[in-house]
Amino acid sequence: MTENYPRQEGHSLSMMYGTYADVLFVLFPFLVIVMQRLWDGELADVLLRPDLSIASAILGGLAIGKFVLGLVTERNLGRYKERIVFFIALTLFVVMGPAMILILSIVGGGAVPGFVAFLQPVLLIVSISLYTTAISISNLLTQSKTGDSGGARESGADSAKSASVVNHEPLSIPRRPNGDGV
């Protein structure tokens, strides 16, 4: 069990880096827009523009795609299928609906109420949380589909067979064998 721990830790770390790389990739154009508004002296209006709602809608759409990927990848989910469908409905209800309404309302003209400056960052945080949840669920289901049992439940013959196959994780950080902290 102790020899499987670094492998599981490396996979979790790789998954975390990959997930947040996706989030940063989505948010990068909006960072450029914020920097341009800062340059123009309009930083106070950033939260009253539809940019954060657009980013929330993009991340919400990506989350729904990952939830659906988890559903179609593993057919034998049983009672867990309803939970994934719940997360899809939650994403639609909590992120996609309000984001689309805010985008249309802000772009439609007229005065933008002050609560929008609070609601948009909250919406973005919720969409990032749902996206990371969707990635975790999708990765768990695709791992179980490919036969990766998590390592802790391997039998002696299976562990000897899997020890001969080296499985490199993307974005994994190599560990020093002597444990130096340098």
Report, as an integer, the average pLDDT of 65-73. 85
- From CA 121, how far away is CA 12, in angstroms rounded? 27
Instruction: Express as a percent the part of the chain with pLDDT over 90.
Output: 37
Place of tokens 């559903």: 71
The region of weakest confidence among 22-31, 55-64, 80-89 is 80-89
Residue 94 reports pLDDT greater than 90? yes
Q: What does the pLDDT read at residue 164?
A: 46
Q: What does the pLDDT read at residue 129?
A: 93
pLDDT band at residue 59 using 50, 70 and 90 as cut-offs: very high
Q: What does the pLDDT read at residue 109?
A: 81
pLDDT tens sequence across 100-157 = 999 999 999 888 898 999 999 999 999 999 999 888 888 777 776 555 444 443 444 4
Residues 47/120, Cβ–Cβ less than 8 Å: yes
> How confident is the prediction for the chain on average, in pLDDT?
79
Q: What does the pLDDT read at residue 78?
A: 75
pLDDT band at residue 158 using 50, 70 and 90 as cut-offs: very low
DSSP string, 98-141: HHHHHHHHHHT-SPPPTTHHHHHHHHHHHHHHHHHHHHHHHHHH
Q: What does the pLDDT read at residue 6?
A: 65
DSSP 8-state assignment for residue 22? H
Domain boundaries, the chain: 5-147
